[in-house]
Amino acid sequence: MSPPSQYLIVSAMLFSVGFAGAALRRNAILVLIGIELMLNAANLNFIAFWRCGAHPEALTGVMFTIFSLAIAAAEAAVGLALIIAVYRHRRTIQLDELESLKG
């Protein structure tokens, strides 16, 4: 079995990919996917730390991941509903074209 740092490094790479995507892509849906990837990276950390932590029988990391999953589902639902609502009004979901609040 691999040492925990392997899982953490995979998680770090996943997080950085998600972060770069969320920061640079201009499509709102892709930004949302990037955020989901970052959330997943965090979940992987929780599971890895639970697995090799001192008290795995307490299931803390697992419980946290389960709640995180539920919240991610809620976030995706609301986020995508927002994107669809924005698309109805502005006919675009390219973030650099949604600039009416720019000073």
Partner 1 sequence: MPNNIPFYLAAAVTLGGAIAAMSLRNLVHCALCAAGAFAGLGAIYLQLGAEFVAAAQVLVYVGAIAMLIVFAILLTRGGKVKLTARQTAPNRFVGFLIVLLVCASLAGSILRSPSLQARTLALPEVTAPAQRIGENLMTAYVLPLETVGLLLTAAMLGAVVLAIREEPEARLRSEPTAQRRQALEEANIS
Residues that bind partner 1 (CB under 8 A): 1-10, 12-21, 23-27, 29-30, 32-34, 36-37, 40, 43-44, 47-48, 50-52, 56-57, 59, 62-63, 65-67, 69-78, 80-85, 87-88, 93-94, 96
Q: Which of 80/100 has CB closer to partner 1?
A: 80
Give residue for tokens 């998600």.
18
Are residues 5 and 51 in contact, defined by beta-carbon separation less than 8 angstroms? no
Q: Which of 48/103 has CB closer to partner 1?
A: 48
DSSP state of 56: G
DSSP state of 53: S
Q: Which of 4/103 has CB closer to partner 1?
A: 4
3-state secondary structure of 21: helix
